[in-house]
Structure 1
């Protein structure tokens, strides 16, 4: 071994030049923690210049790794190619070479390298198997990016056959099956069964599967726990800022031709720049669109962060002293949840990107309306709903619409009833598609006009129609086109059929803006109530249905009654002018009121805490604050003696003076006691405090859900007979009869 393993770098260079360093020692030295990859590259280059041994292939490989770390992709490519020239079946080098080609935007060359790995690797050898799985997963990921969904699924399914239950692989596989309308979605892959597939379904994909808000919350929380480290530093100062203008930052990777941008662009233009300073932190591609230019011109500060990682992006946002950060992504593709987890702003809000709870503890509020998130469902959101007085969804009144096309130019029959659904294909489900086929069967002189997202979806939908006895030629597919031409299509359709459980969002807005009625099916989740929220604001509740049979019957009824449909169009035209649905200026003012109140409430809370601390320093306090465990035991004894009032006071006193991180446990036990005493409002407030501090605490959510579902009845019982009320509330406290105690 070279006798200067910890000596300076120059000595190692000299040792390599003099051929007195063993290659194994070189690897040990160069692989030291925090050793600069640029210096490691020089070491390997020196070795290769002065040595010609059987270790050269590994020196070339390590040189490639070092240069890749330095983003010298051309140099890394040459190094890997040199390694492969010596050892063509060196699959680790071939896999890495594929990554290099991908970075150089040569996707076909990358796929070719990974294909060779697949053909060369021996899956019976553990090291080969690991690289083979990586190659298949990379193939699937890249093919998905290229929208080659069938090839992507084939690669990921091969990977799961070799290594079952890979959650990240399943995450992508399920969503791509949805995009292809490849039903059933949860078809097993070898040892990866339906249970594993369901468990690993992404938050976005779950929106297409279930309208159960609890399931969506659980999935979001699981994703959050898996993806966000617990030790990220909080960047925003605890006391916030005192700016003359409130600083609002909208953060998105979709400031381009994307539904979120299409909805929000006029909001940025309408903000009151005398009172608010508007920032846009952007990591979206520059598509050169007019929409993107409007966004850039509509904000005060446009700041691209696409070249920054999430931690650096968070630090940059912190430097701008943002008062309120508005995330327009949620847990969707290309989201930056770790950036948000650093909490670069004192107040953080989610809006539009993901029509569901994010499950992120760093997000404080979600912008909603009372139809979208009714009070009884609010507990299934980790964020607190920020209720808009009219409608949650903003609109762009300046969107361009081309002249109405003819039906013939769209491939539509001239005299038949045209149902349409231009939602993304991943929103189509077998249950709703079957209902659509029933509608076509009951309305013989009709066709269904759908979006053709990809050829596999088109083929699968035609096959499914044929299986259900419907002529597949009655399904007419529209290709994607420019936004103005897409909007013009709504002029030649008769009725928009919504999807479920993932409703139309932007597409429903577009349809109503052009004047085409939307028939929706409403459920319990955010995503299943979006179109219903729009129709409620437009005063068109007759177009909201709540079960598939009624949805089917209503569609048939409207198709067979042109006079009724004409009245709906007239009502919609009036709503476009007179309702708040498309009043973007009004929306902006209402949202700004919320922003102002949020900052005021935050500042008040800060000042209250400071005042409390000052008062506590001079006021008489208990000589020694007891541990929570002691308080729980004391309260439990008092409760056993039927002295619930004293037990409640015990928790109140401890909460008042304690700074323990486990205070939420005391709040939960206090809530249970208050419910037992009949103080339903107090119990509700206590459980809400718990959820503010511990959004993932399911017991508190269940207690609060039951509290709300029973509250009207229980209030009546309390007013009539206290004993009945006490007995009634055992159903709330039975699951949590034993008080919680913090783990030591």
Structure 2
């Protein structure tokens, strides 16, 4: 077996949503190449999650972690997939994130201390990973078009964009500084942010986009927050706050970071177009229940809700979007009674226009309990379609509840499974009332902070500016002597990581050869520490950074060969 080619083909299968083929290839790698099993189990876990097979995905990622307990990429995938655990395990979820942060992004980063702060200037604010998720394109225009340009200078960091996409963003928002961060190391990313003079760094993707949190560990900005896509704490010590709200986070005990709370739901998006064709009050079409979220959010509990509702409303149908491949469909149907199969319509992934057309045919949506929807909930509500939610404890299970609370639609937030099912049955039995209220619900949603950019951005600006001002009051740039003292203290303590942090700050604006050689040595020493723990991938990453700084670093070159 050509192992590299096998992994490449599997990755291409996943990118094309050929999930059955991806699963087959990855299982073959596990069987025939035991030395590659950790990576194969991890990538198989991702493929299974995209099929809606959460428990199977969790089992595979746990196999990968057991085989490679020091692999940061595998452990990051574990954090993401942990959101699919049913029932949720809040203490485990938070502990895993804190452990990852302490181990792979330890405290001590200090690049922001290399420059003085001017409290009277505009705040240069960088949004990191603006293209990390396809749904984010609905949120970025709100920021680009409604930030106060007299108080904020915006930087958008594109982690995935190709050149045409980047040029399109530059043409659309010329007042925003756009930076391509694809395929650069965390060190380069951090130093680029520091050289740009970023005051506020806003991570948009949490552990969903590799490299962003690792870059922020160097602390290139005075204020660093996480917001929007991950809907959970990161565990990274250099993240000062999470931007959230009082519904997803009624207290600070549900997150690894302190919370900055907006006065309403933490989402504001460009609304989808109004549906051209949707059921009317006197429509004779059967009432339709919809599961419209990405397939990764399907779970046994969600499908059990749907089955119980269909059993009590015999004329109702179920529409499920995004099931790609035979395995995904077979798994979903296996969790639904066979007697109901004739009343279920399964759809593959579709383009955006078709997605909105299909959503418009639904009368009532159920919010996934394992990982609550935000964009999909906004899509449904903006089309005038009610959404029922039964929130859990952790923030990522409470997104739809937050949105519904902002709209004063508390009756659609259930405290128990039975209450949600009773509510759904009542609504479907009076489907003509829901259909008759579609237009008024859409108008209510569009008039709220969920789609009113000026209202939302003003509140976000206030939170960020106040948090930055509070930190600026205590900020003081380090002198050269203080940097040298920090370097020497780290060397004496035999802490290559802290030596790296201090040397990166010391060499940010001037880089004598001697200091750069010392920095390369520190990266090599940290790589050696990882290698002693069997963490070849993490070790190789540090040896590569040592050679990036000093190509003549013979020890790093030799050690890198040992990792391959």
Which bracket does the TM-score occupy, shorter chain normalised? 0.7 to 0.9
Query: Quick check: 1:432–1:499 contact (8 Å CA) kept in 2?
Result: yes
Which residue of the partner structure matches residue 693 of structure 1? none
Which residue of the partner structure matches residue 14 of structure 2? 144
Query: Quick check: 2:38–2:65 contact (8 Å CA) kept in 1?
Result: no
Greater CA radius of gyration, 1 or 2? 1
Which residue of the partner structure matches residue 179 of structure 1? 50
SS of 1:553 mapped into structure 2: helix
Which residue of the partner structure matches residue 460 of structure 2? 591
Whole-angstrom CA distance in 2 between matches of 1:576 and 1:253: 24
Cα distance, 1:252 vs. partner? Answer: 0.8
- In structure 1, list runs of 5 or more residues that go unmatched: 1-115, 118-131, 408-412, 611-660, 662-744
Q: Does 1:487 align with 2:360?
A: no
Residues 207 and 165 of structure 1, relative CA distance in 2, 3 Å threshold: farther
Which residue of the partner structure matches residue 223 of structure 1? 100
Residues 501 and 607 of structure 1, relative CA distance in 2, 3 Å threshold: same
- Provide Cα deviations, 1:489-535, integer angstroms capped at 9, x if missing partner: 43322111111121111110111122111111211111110000000
SS of 1:582 mapped into structure 2: coil
Residues 571 and 295 of structure 1, relative CA distance in 2, 3 Å threshold: farther
Aligned counterpart in structure 1 of residue 308 of structure 2, from 435, 438, 448: 438
| Structure with higher RCO (Cα < 8 A, 6+ apart) | 2
Whole-angstrom CA distance in 2 between matches of 1:482 and 1:578: 27
Which residue of the partner structure matches residue 403 of structure 1? 276
Which residue of the partner structure matches residue 416 of structure 2? 547
Which residue of the partner structure matches residue 202 of structure 1? 78
Whole-angstrom CA distance in 2 between matches of 1:520 and 1:355: 16
SS of 1:214 mapped into structure 2: helix
Cα distance, 1:251 vs. partner? Answer: 1.1
Quick check: 471-480 or 445-454, which moved more? 471-480
Aligned counterpart in structure 1 of residue 380 of structure 2, from 486, 494, 511: 511
Query: Quick check: 1:419–1:497 contact (8 Å CA) kept in 2?
Result: yes
Scaled by the length of structure 2, what TM-score is found? Answer: 0.74
Which residue of the partner structure matches residue 510 of structure 2? none
Residues 197 and 568 of structure 1, relative CA distance in 2, 3 Å threshold: farther
Cα distance, 1:292 vs. partner? Answer: 5.8
SS of 2:173 mapped into structure 1: helix
Query: Quick check: 2:157–2:181 contact (8 Å CA) kept in 1?
Result: yes
Query: Quick check: 2:117–2:475 contact (8 Å CA) kept in 1?
Result: no
Which residue of the partner structure matches residue 441 of structure 2? 572
Which residue of the partner structure matches residue 261 of structure 2? 387
Whole-angstrom CA distance in 2 between matches of 1:402 and 1:538: 21
- Provide Cα deviations, 1:594-632, integer angstroms capped at 9, x if missing partner: 12212210122237999xxxxxxxxxxxxxxxxxxxxxx
Query: Quick check: 1:180–1:460 contact (8 Å CA) kept in 2?
Result: no
Aligned 1:345-494 pairs, distance under 5 A: 345-375=221-251, 378-397=252-271, 399-401=272-274, 403-404=276-277, 415-456=285-326, 458-461=328-331, 463-464=333-334, 468-494=337-363
Scaled by the length of structure 1, what TM-score is found? Answer: 0.57
SS of 1:237 mapped into structure 2: helix
Residues 202 and 240 of structure 1, relative CA distance in 2, 3 Å threshold: farther
Residues 443 and 543 of structure 1, relative CA distance in 2, 3 Å threshold: same
- Provide Cα deviations, 1:70-106, integer angstroms capped at 9, x if missing partner: xxxxxxxxxxxxxxxxxxxxxxxxxxxxxxxxxxxxx
Cα distance, 1:381 vs. partner? Answer: 1.8
Which residue of the partner structure matches residue 473 of structure 2? 604
Which residue of the partner structure matches residue 396 of structure 2? 527
Whole-angstrom CA distance in 2 between matches of 1:382 and 1:551: 30
SS of 1:185 mapped into structure 2: helix
Whole-angstrom CA distance in 2 between matches of 1:441 and 1:572: 28
Residues 170 and 292 of structure 1, relative CA distance in 2, 3 Å threshold: farther
- In structure 2, list runs of 5 or more residues that go unmatched: 480-497, 499-564
Which residue of the partner structure matches residue 278 of structure 1? 154
Which residue of the partner structure matches residue 197 of structure 2? 321
Query: Quick check: 2:384–2:440 contact (8 Å CA) kept in 1?
Result: no
Whole-angstrom CA distance in 2 between matches of 1:282 and 1:186: 29
Whole-angstrom CA distance in 2 between matches of 1:449 and 1:400: 21
SS of 2:139 mapped into structure 1: helix
Residues 496 and 423 of structure 1, relative CA distance in 2, 3 Å threshold: same
Whole-angstrom CA distance in 2 between matches of 1:462 and 1:577: 34
Residues 583 and 406 of structure 1, relative CA distance in 2, 3 Å threshold: closer
Whole-angstrom CA distance in 2 between matches of 1:193 and 1:268: 40
Query: Quick check: 2:382–2:446 contact (8 Å CA) kept in 1?
Result: no
Aligned residues: 471
Query: Quick check: 2:222–2:468 contact (8 Å CA) kept in 1?
Result: no
Cα distance, 1:170 vs. partner? Answer: 3.6
Whole-angstrom CA distance in 2 between matches of 1:522 and 1:567: 27
Cα distance, 1:215 vs. partner? Answer: 2.1
Query: Quick check: 1:512–1:518 contact (8 Å CA) kept in 2?
Result: yes
Cα distance, 1:219 vs. partner? Answer: 2.2
CA RMSD of aligned residues (A): 3.7
Whole-angstrom CA distance in 2 between matches of 1:602 and 1:493: 48
Cα distance, 1:307 vs. partner? Answer: 4.7
Query: Quick check: 2:20–2:325 contact (8 Å CA) kept in 1?
Result: no
Cα distance, 1:356 vs. partner? Answer: 1.3
Residues 457 and 564 of structure 1, relative CA distance in 2, 3 Å threshold: farther
Which residue of the partner structure matches residue 107 of structure 1? none
Residues 155 and 234 of structure 1, relative CA distance in 2, 3 Å threshold: farther
